[in-house]
Structure 1
């Protein structure tokens, strides 16, 4: 097993500044390191499918919304947790590839719906299976009980971090 650089940092701070409690780094520092490491390991299947950063998030949000696999830019923005401007850029790329289409929203001629095409549904279904297998592989070092406990703890932490809090 590799040494834990975050634990080493905390020990260094304990030595250099014993008046401070650096133990929050054991959680926050590890989360940051894991985010980067997980991103590097999860991104290759999307890159192989020639999808840009965040493109799969849009496809997945549309697919899991259920038939007819259509959402407004605002709904996508709230689901994917990015600005509508970022959604527009992603949708532009996906539309150019024939994976999504835009149409006028029924009852609101100013509104637009983004809809998965048949090709988009097929690609998303293929990639979500690969993505979930990849996630399972990355979590294989934990038992089922540990995964459940970690998911619960992360969920509790997420509830304490409301937007705008710092």
Structure 2
């Protein structure tokens, strides 16, 4: 492979092969690239959310509510389990989103942790706009791949994801 067609991971693997030739670095080919891709695409995606007055964590909450469909309402327990975050982390996000007028917590007596979380009209509109803008950015980021290449990559990533999820379930 010529130097002009090598990426950062190829160069790292070459260095490791020279220093520790007995170590299989094939995992780095996939996982190292996945990490580098994630780090590279985060800034433009996060900029989209910022343009809509959200951070990534807040977008995760409001998008989960929007995806849930009418009446765009979930219990906090459902939210933090679907987002795989702690209840404390969710509480902070909910407080910020409430102050911003994007969600409401219908007042009832009882434990605040069980109060439903509901998108406001502004929350629905802003979430939809942010999602549409995010998908446009992500489409531009993937423009270097053909439709067939994207389909193949999608299939392989799904297979890897399912394999990892199965391993977690079996180990957990």
1:78 pairs with one of 68, 76, 81: 81
What root-mean-square deviation, in Å, do the aligned CA atoms of Structure 1 and Structure 2 show? 2.1
TM-score when normalising by structure 1: 0.90
TM-aligned CA deviation for residue 53 of structure 1:
3.2
- Give a deviation string over 1:34-82, Cα, whole Å, max 9, x none: 1111111211011122212311111111011000000011111122222
Which deviates further from its counterpart, 31-40 or 48-57?
48-57
Q: Distance in 2 between matches of 1:95 and 1:51?
A: 12
Q: What is the match of residue 127 of structure 2?
A: 124
Matches within 5 A, 1:80-159: 80-103=83-106, 109-110=110-111, 111-159=114-162
Greater fraction helix: 2
TM-score when normalising by structure 2: 0.87
Q: What is the match of residue 28 of structure 2?
A: 25
Distance change in 2, residues 1:46/1:12 (3 Å): same
Q: Which has the higher contact order (CA 8 A, sep 6+)?
A: 2
Distance change in 2, residues 1:104/1:160 (3 Å): farther
Instruction: Report if the CA contact (8 A) 2:76-2:116 is conserved.
Output: yes
Structure 1 alignment gaps of length 5 or more: none
Greater fraction strand: 1
Structure 2 alignment gaps of length 5 or more: none
Q: What is the match of residue 54 of structure 1?
A: 57
